[in-house]
């Protein structure tokens, strides 16, 4: 085996230009895939990040009734809420934050906007979501009578930090209204949160909604990839009345966007692999034809035809691996650069913001697409070298030696 490797390696450098050309083809194809995928992965990760870390936690628990009919009165009663919180407490490393969500209207002297009122317990909520990190101005709510607004909402209402807004809600016991001082303005990078959510204390949200308890419980987990397992355990414990939703289940739209985009990336990868594959096949085929005599001599000296074919395949694989390695180094640097600097999305930012993609997209490195690319590159090289290798294997030594 090592003998063959050494032979293939030496052969490669006997025709330096041709080998470099072959590596170049693989290099370019791989680089395009790695960079494109890095950018796509950045988009996926920021979508998941925004949803899980800023908006809703890893798991969302709500009563089955509420999921059917999202009205505050359909939420968890205080007793049910206690049961849910107890259940989450038994999950190691998990934190739970009850929320009371209701629809209402936020008014400033300059206008009014329909918004979602999100009541949270500030101390508990901070253990689940890191909206605090996305504060543009001011601070997190601490006491009653304080509210946080998204940057877009604050702009739409022309509200500044320290000013007062009035929240109206159609509660279970009639219309209620209450004044809040805006103590924080955040930019979560997500349309729903930035444009149409006002965050207040859960006690006040309950009063506005005219309901006790909570409409949902958001749960953070130490490792996001445990979500399905923990969700299953919680479902078992809490029974049919409680829905336990993972990120994918709570955001079917985002999950399908990611899935479709991955499929697209795979398609792009395959198309590029085919193009690069033809380039490699072409180059290898020429190198085989050129060496007809040489191969003839090797065969007559007793080299088995299978081994000869393997040498040709190994050459192609080696060249491709070198091309890929170069692409990996360059791609890594490029992706890191794009992760650091980010790609400003310009006028598209409003469009993507609704999915939780920030206005500057940061590329991300993820082992799995590198691995996938590597496998595709090797497979392509083997396939591309197949025909030339077969030709080499089928050479008749006597005729080959005579060939000009």
* Contacting residues toward another protein, per CB under 8 A: 104-105, 107-112, 145, 160, 163-166, 168-170, 173-175, 177-179
- Give 3-state DSSP helix, strand, coil % of the chain, rounded to 5: 60, 20, 20
* Dist. CA 252–CA 250, nearest whole Å: 6
Q: How far is the CB of 112 from another protein (least distance, A)?
A: 5
Q: How far is the CB of 118 from another protein (least distance, A)?
A: 18
* Dist. CA 253–CA 259, nearest whole Å: 10
* Dist. CA 229–CA 175, nearest whole Å: 42
Residue 142, SS3?
coil
Q: Which is nearer to another protein, 119 or 296 (CB)?
A: 119
Q: Which is nearer to another protein, 56 or 146 (CB)?
A: 146
Q: How far is the CB of 216 from another protein (least distance, A)?
A: 22
Find the helix packing angle between 305-341 and 2-14, rounded to 10°: 70
Q: How far is the CB of 181 from another protein (least distance, A)?
A: 8
* Dist. CA 247–CA 111, nearest whole Å: 35
Q: How far is the CB of 275 from another protein (least distance, A)?
A: 57
Q: Which is nearer to another protein, 39 or 147 (CB)?
A: 147
Q: Which is nearer to another protein, 174 or 346 (CB)?
A: 174
For tokens 């809420």, the residue is: 81
Contact status, residue 104 vs residue 98, Cβ threshold 8 Å = no
* Dist. CA 123–CA 141, nearest whole Å: 10
Contact status, residue 316 vs residue 21, Cβ threshold 8 Å = no
* Dist. CA 297–CA 356, nearest whole Å: 64
Q: How far is the CB of 345 from another protein (least distance, A)?
A: 32
Q: How far is the CB of 153 from another protein (least distance, A)?
A: 15
Contact status, residue 34 vs residue 373, Cβ threshold 8 Å = yes
* Dist. CA 152–CA 354, nearest whole Å: 12
* Dist. CA 20–CA 283, nearest whole Å: 10
Q: What number of residues does the chain have? A: 404
For tokens 């009734």, the residue is: 65
Q: Which is nearer to another protein, 175 or 351 (CB)?
A: 175
* Dist. CA 320–CA 317, nearest whole Å: 5
Q: Which is nearer to another protein, 166 or 336 (CB)?
A: 166
Of 124, 324, 314, which Cα lies nearest the Cα of 218? 124
Of 305, 281, 334, which Cα lies nearest the Cα of 400? 305
Q: Which is nearer to another protein, 169 or 276 (CB)?
A: 169
Q: How far is the CB of 54 from another protein (least distance, A)?
A: 28
Q: How far is the CB of 177 from another protein (least distance, A)?
A: 4
Q: Which is nearer to another protein, 208 or 377 (CB)?
A: 208
Q: Which is nearer to another protein, 110 or 368 (CB)?
A: 110
């Amino acid at each position: 085996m090592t003998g063959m490797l050494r032979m293939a390696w030496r052969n490669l450098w006997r025709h330096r230009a041709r080998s470099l050309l072959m590596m170049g083809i693989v290099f370019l194809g791989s680089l395009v895939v790695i960079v494109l995928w890095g950018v796509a992965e950045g988009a996926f990760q920021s979508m998941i990040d925004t949803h899980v870390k800023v908006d809703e936690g890893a798991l969302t628990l709500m009563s089955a009734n509420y999921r059917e009919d999202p009205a505050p009165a359909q939420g968890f009663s205080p007793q049910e809420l206690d049961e849910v919180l107890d259940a989450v407490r038994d999950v190691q490393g998990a934190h739970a934050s009850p929320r009371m969500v209701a629809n209402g209207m936020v008014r400033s002297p300059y206008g009014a906007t329909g918004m979602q009122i999100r009541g949270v317990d500030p101390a508990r909520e901070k253990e689940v979501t890191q909206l605090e990190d996305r504060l543009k101005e001011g601070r997190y709510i601490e006491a009653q009578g304080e509210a946080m607004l998204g940057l877009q909402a604050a702009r739409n209402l022309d509200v500044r930090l320290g000013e007062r807004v009035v929240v109206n809600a159609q509660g279970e016991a009639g219309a209620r209204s209450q004044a809040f001082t805006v103590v924080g303005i955040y930019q979560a990078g997500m349309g729903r949160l930035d444009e149409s959510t006002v965050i207040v204390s859960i006690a006040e949200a309950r009063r506005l909604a005219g309901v006790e308890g909570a409409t949902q419980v958001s749960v953070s987990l130490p490792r996001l990839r445990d979500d399905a397992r923990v969700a299953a355990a919680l479902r078992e414990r809490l029974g049919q009345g409680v829905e336990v939703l993972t990120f994918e289940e709570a955001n079917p739209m985002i999950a399908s966007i990611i899935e479709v985009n991955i499929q697209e990336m795979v398609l792009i990868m395959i198309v590029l692999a085919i193009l690069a594959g033809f380039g490699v096949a072409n180059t290898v085929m020429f190198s085989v034809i050129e060496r007809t005599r040489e191969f003839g001599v090797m065969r007559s000296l007793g080299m088995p035809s299978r081994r000869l074919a393997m040498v040709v395949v190994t050459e192609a694989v080696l060249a491709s691996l070198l091309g890929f390695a170069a692409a990996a180094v360059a791609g890594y640097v490029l992706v890191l650069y794009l992760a650091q600097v980010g790609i400003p999305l310009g006028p598209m930012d409003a469009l993507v913001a609704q999915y939780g993609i920030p206005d500057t997209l940061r590329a991300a490195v993820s082992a799995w697409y590198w691995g996938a690319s590597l496998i595709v590159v090797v497979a392509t090289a083997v396939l591309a070298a197949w025909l030339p290798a077969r030709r080499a294997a089928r050479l008749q030594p006597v005729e080959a030696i005579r060939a000009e």
